[in-house]
Amino acid sequence: MDKKKIKIFVTIIAAVLTIAAALVAADYFELFGSKIEKRLGFSEIRFRTLDKETGGIVTNVGVRCFQKQNMNACTRKESHQLGVVSVNIPIQRAVKKTLLFKKAEEIYKSIDPKVHVMLIHQNYYKQTVTLIMEDVYSNVVGEQTVEMSPIEWEGSESEHEEQMEEQINE
């Protein structure tokens, strides 16, 4: 009787393992269907901003990103480093999944193959950096150095103050 019980137990275990393997194989070949899930991710790009004339760090730099039919193509992220501006560019992915497996992942590409990042500061000319979206998708773009040219104002503040004092005295 012991051999008969062992034989039945082994048969039951073999049947359960066979059914489990069949279910896994069926799911792998998508017999139970699959679904496409959209995921939003971000690619971070960092810009080190320097004064073109002195080589000093430029702080409080704003950012504006644009593409064809997309005038707001990024968001500014706090970098917590002096003179470094971080930008997050959104990337949408489509992930094809079954119950047990992740089958494929595809990136929804933007209409424009380029993204233009404009760095803005009140005392400097606006600098625009153009990035190829394929590099952004693959995270090839790391930290870039941008030299910003200072705006040359017609008169300095002290000259302006002297002119105001002369007008008041007259």
Delimit the domains of the chain by residue range.
Answer: 1-33, 37-148
The CATH number of domain 37-148, selected from 3.30.420, 2.60.40, 1.10.3470, 1.10.10: 2.60.40
pLDDT over 90 at 39, yes or no: yes
**What is the rounded average pLDDT of the residues 33-59?**
94
Instruction: Say if residues 47 and 117 touch (Cβ distance below 8 Å).
Output: yes
Mean pLDDT of all residues belonging to the chain: 89
Q: What is the pTM of this model?
A: 0.71
pLDDT over 60 at 163, yes or no: no
pLDDT band per the 50, 70, 90 thresholds, residue 156: low
CA distances from 103 to 30, 36, 53, 62, 125 (A): 9, 10, 53, 40, 48
pLDDT over 90 at 88, yes or no: yes
Structure-token match 């992942």, residue found: 105
pLDDT band per the 50, 70, 90 thresholds, residue 74: very high
Question: Cα(62)–Cα(49) distance, rounded to whole angstroms?
Answer: 11
Higher pLDDT, 122 or 166: 122
Tokens of 119: 């760095």
Tokens of 41: 């991710």
Question: Cα(123)–Cα(117) distance, rounded to whole angstroms?
Answer: 18
pLDDT band per the 50, 70, 90 thresholds, residue 82: very high
Higher pLDDT, 37 or 154: 37
Instruction: Say if residues 120 and 61 touch (Cβ distance below 8 Å).
Output: yes
